[in-house]
A and B are shown apart, each in its own frame.
Chain A
């Protein structure tokens, strides 16, 4: 085991290296490109045995990835934002093929307006594709997440592709100390891929990926993928237990922080949740019984664990780093639905924050805590609110005025 400083991107690349990926189809896009640059260097030099090729687009990249995975090799790829959306058609297709590849998505806000900085509209746009989703908050998690993702994807009970998500810039370009496991130990956790039920053989003609005519067959195959995804929760827990035994790091589907005695909690995805951790500590100093819940797995959705963690609280503030226009935050409605179906009724306050990398300062966490408490006292869920200051509005309007004047 080596301890070293790595960016989130480099940690993800190390995940692919330690997983001994055989094939990496790639296409550059900010902020993901560092991953494929590192892999290209390692693969051209021979430090990794696999092969890497720049394809002509993310659509081709995902197509090549899925087809290669169908032949029974271990495939890795990475993209961001517009690239993920450009590959969208093939995300559904390769998930339907039930091929176990791993894709790292480095989240970045979607155009228009064009931006480079992160939010989660990209990864949530592909929420229903069939890919499982693992969300990281640290560089260590990016590396470990790739290894866990392969275990999950390749398990014969799952056989679905897995997406490992990290926030662009905030995590992708931030260096943190990362423990690099020994290759021998990783091989014990993740033995060479045994394709078993993947039947594509050049010498054994068999039609695959065929059309089904009729809703009965279509429903069957779609629902089979759904059941496999639900079943992945248990497979994840098994894999995480073995991971903890081998490497000493535990990964539950949810990260909980100071929730044991909490009356209130923030719920967030990804690296911005580390800001919430800081705020929780400050709020606790000020006498609040408040915690944080951060889903690592978003698909399959850890509904039961979320209900257990949040169901007994007085109020929760869900901070969505995404915006479903005309509705609000995606996570907020998913969590609200899970609580409602379980008959649990904490007050749910929805916030949209961190769009396009917009910071969430600690003062805003204090404000959200106060609002959520007031809502719990009133027994009413408040309408969704955008985290945005008057000063930001004034500055944006001033810039807009300059642009209109010229």
Chain B
């Protein structure tokens, strides 16, 4: 199987690259038309994602986007790629369908934390288990933003939300650990404060052969921040700055306590699903004397 990412990491990311140029090349809508809340982390995350595409010199005509429902959903429509907006949580299942039917495409699944870990948790963990070559970019804003800030599976314990006005009683997921456990072969975390790092891990994830997962800590100062003493976007960016550590082999457990551990947290290649599936089909075809199977739309890649 060929992949469109033939020229990985040719250009170094230029963090100061002209934004208009970037939007022109990798977007569909001028930046002044973006409908994120002022200061929202999603704009920063979108910029990092476009820079990651730029860094990979990716052919956008070969990128398919799948998304569910959440504040982030509109991002798919701002990017210069074919995107399908589905039901809440269904992104990973949509991405699986797109990729398996068209293995030559680069499939990016944008997700929210409510999408990915709550209502769509099932799809995400099974996509990871199969190691299908899709990239999940999960925007973690600590709850359900699109419906006005209710608590969800990533809301920090004890924090205040619309449905936990006196404190959230549950333990949140560590999304990256969950994905490692489910079998994802590339797992990374970054924040919108660490824009250069975020760009780098997104590019690496998209280029990765197999299921890759990037948790993007993306603040919502309007809903979560306001209720938790960080009402400005800058408060939350500082919060990420002051509460993050980069993953290193020597990082001690106590240094990770209560921190966002950033970096590529897991990377372990294993056979990719669409390729394994193609092998089985070849084997079956050989047994049937080349007569047994009808062709699937593989875009000629298999």
> Would you call A114 and B150 a contact (CB within 8 A)?
no
Q: Within the complex, what minimum Cβ distance (angstroms) separates A61 from chain B?
A: 10
Q: Chain A's nearest CB lies how many Å from the CB of B172?
A: 12
A41: chain B residues at CB < 8 Å are 165
B148 proximal to A (CB < 8 A) = yes
Q: Is the CB of A86 within 8 A of B165?
A: no
Q: What mask results when residues 171 to 183 of chain B are scored 1 for a CB within 8 Å of chain A, else 0?
A: 0000000000000
Choose, from A30-38, A325-333, A374-382, the stretch at the interface: A30-38
Interface string of B95-136 (1 = CB under 8 A from A): 000000000000000000000011101000000000000000
Report A297 CB to chain B, min CB distance, Å: 30
Interchain CB contact (< 8 A) of B150 among A28, A58, A111: A28
Q: Is the CB of A30 within 8 A of B147?
A: yes
Which range holds the interface residue count of chain B? 20 to 34
Chain B residues within an 8 Å CB radius of A406: 28
Shortest CB-to-CB span from A187 to chain B, Å, is 27
The answer to whether A56 has its CB under 8 Å from any CB of chain B is: yes
**Residue of B with least CB distance to A56:** B118
Which residues of B have CB within 8 Å of A45? 165-166
Q: How far is the CB of B83 from chain A (nearest CB, A)?
A: 13
Complex-state Cα separation, A112 to B146, whole angstroms: 18
| Structural contact, B151 and A54, CB atoms closer than 8 A | yes
Q: Please, which residues of chain B bring their CB within 8 A of the CB of A26? A: 163
Q: In this assembly, does B88 line the interface, its C-beta being within 8 Å of a C-beta of chain A? A: yes
Which B residues touch A106, using CB under 8 A?
Answer: none
- Whether the Cβ atoms of A57 and B119 lie closer than 8 Å is yes
Chain A neighbourhood of B164, CB < 8 A: 40, 44
Residues of A within 8 A of B88 (CB): 29, 82, 86
- Assess the A54–B152 pair: CB atoms within 8 A: yes
Task: Give complex CA distance A30, B70 in Å.
Answer: 11
Q: Given A57-B89, A114-B85, A28–B165 Cβ distance below 8 Å?
A: no
* A54 adjacent to B119 (CB under 8 Å): no
What 1/0 mask marks residues of chain A from 46 to 59 whose CB sits below 8 Å from any chain B CB? 00000010101110
Residues of B with C-beta under 8 A to A40: 162-165
Given contacts A29-B147, A54-B152, A57-B89, contact A36 B119 (CB under 8 A): no
Chain A nearest CB, measured from B164 CB (Å):
7
Docked-complex contact B166 and A33, CB < 8 angstroms: no
How many Å lie between the Cα of A40 and that of B166 in the bound state?
A: 9
Chain A residues 3 to 55 lying within 8 A of chain B, measured CB to CB, are 26-30, 33, 36-37, 40-41, 44-45, 52, 54
Instruction: Give B166's nearest chain A residue, CB to CB.
Output: A44
Q: Are B153 and A37 closer than 8 Å at their CB atoms?
A: no
Determine which residue in B69, B87, B153, B163 has the highest number of CB atoms from chain A within 10 A of its CB, and name it. Answer: B163
Distance in angstroms from B249 CB to nearest chain A CB is 34
Q: Which of B244-276 contact A (CB under 8 A)?
A: none
Taking the closest CB of chain B, its distance from the CB of A294, in whole angstroms, is 30
Asked if B144 is an interface residue, CB under 8 A from chain A, the answer is yes
| Identity of the chain B residue whose Cβ is nearest the Cβ of A42 in the assembled complex | B165
| Bound: A238/B88 CA distance, A | 42
Q: What's the nearest-Cβ distance from chain B to residue A37, in Å? A: 5
Please report which residues of chain A, range 116-156, place their CB below 8 angstroms from some CB of chain B when the two chains form the complex: none
Check B118–A44 contact: CB distance below 8 A. no
Number of A interface residues in the complex (CB < 8 A): 22
- The answer to whether A28 touches B119, judged by C-beta atoms less than 8 angstroms apart, is no
Which residue of B117, B119, B150, B166 is within 8 Å of A37 (Cβ)?
Answer: B150
- With the chains together, A1 CA to B85 CA distance in Å? 47
Among A29, A37, A56, A111, the residue within 8 A (CB) of B162 is: A37
Distance (whole angstroms) from the CB of B52 to the closest CB of chain A = 25
CB interface residues, B 136-158, toward A, < 8 Å: 144, 146-148, 150-153
The CA of A28 and the CA of B145, in the complex, are separated in Å by 10
B144 to chain A, nearest CB (A): 5
Contact A33 B165 (CB under 8 A): no
Bound-state CA distance A56–B163 (Å) is 14
Q: Which residues of A contact B85 (CB under 8 A)?
A: 114
Query: Which single residue of chain B is at the shortest CB-CB distance from A32?
Result: B147
A44→B165 contact, CB < 8 A = yes
Name the A residues within 8 Å of B147 (CB-CB).
28-30, 33
- Residue on B nearest A41 in the bound complex, by CB: B165
Q: How far is the CB of A342 from chain B (nearest CB, A)?
A: 41
In contact, A111 and B87 (Cβ under 8 angstroms): yes
- A37-B162, A40-B163 known; A82+B144 contact, CB < 8 A: no
Tell me the A291-337 residues at the B interface (CB within 8 Å). Answer: none
Report the minimum CB–CB distance from A338 to chain B (whole Å): 35
Given contacts A26-B163, A111-B87, contact A57 B148 (CB under 8 A): no
Residue of A nearest to B144 (CB): A28
Contact residues in B for A52 (Cβ distance below 8 Å): 163
A86 vs B152: C-alpha distance when bound (angstroms): 18
Q: Which residues on the A side are within 8 Å of B119 (C-beta)?
A: 27, 56-58, 86
Can you name 8 A-B residue pairings with CB atoms under 8 Å?
A: A26-B163, A28-B150, A33-B147, A37-B163, A56-B117, A56-B118, A82-B88, A86-B119
Chain A residues engaging chain B, CB cutoff 8 angstroms = 26-30, 33, 36-37, 40-41, 44-45, 52, 54, 56-58, 82, 86, 111, 114, 406
| 12 additional A-B residue pairs with CB within 8 Å, beyond A30-B147, A44-B165, A57-B118 | A26-B163, A28-B147, A30-B146, A40-B164, A41-B165, A44-B164, A52-B163, A56-B117, A56-B118, A56-B153, A82-B87, A86-B88
Closest 9 CB pairs of A and B: A57-B119, A56-B118, A28-B147, A40-B163, A28-B150, A44-B166, A33-B147, A37-B162, A28-B144
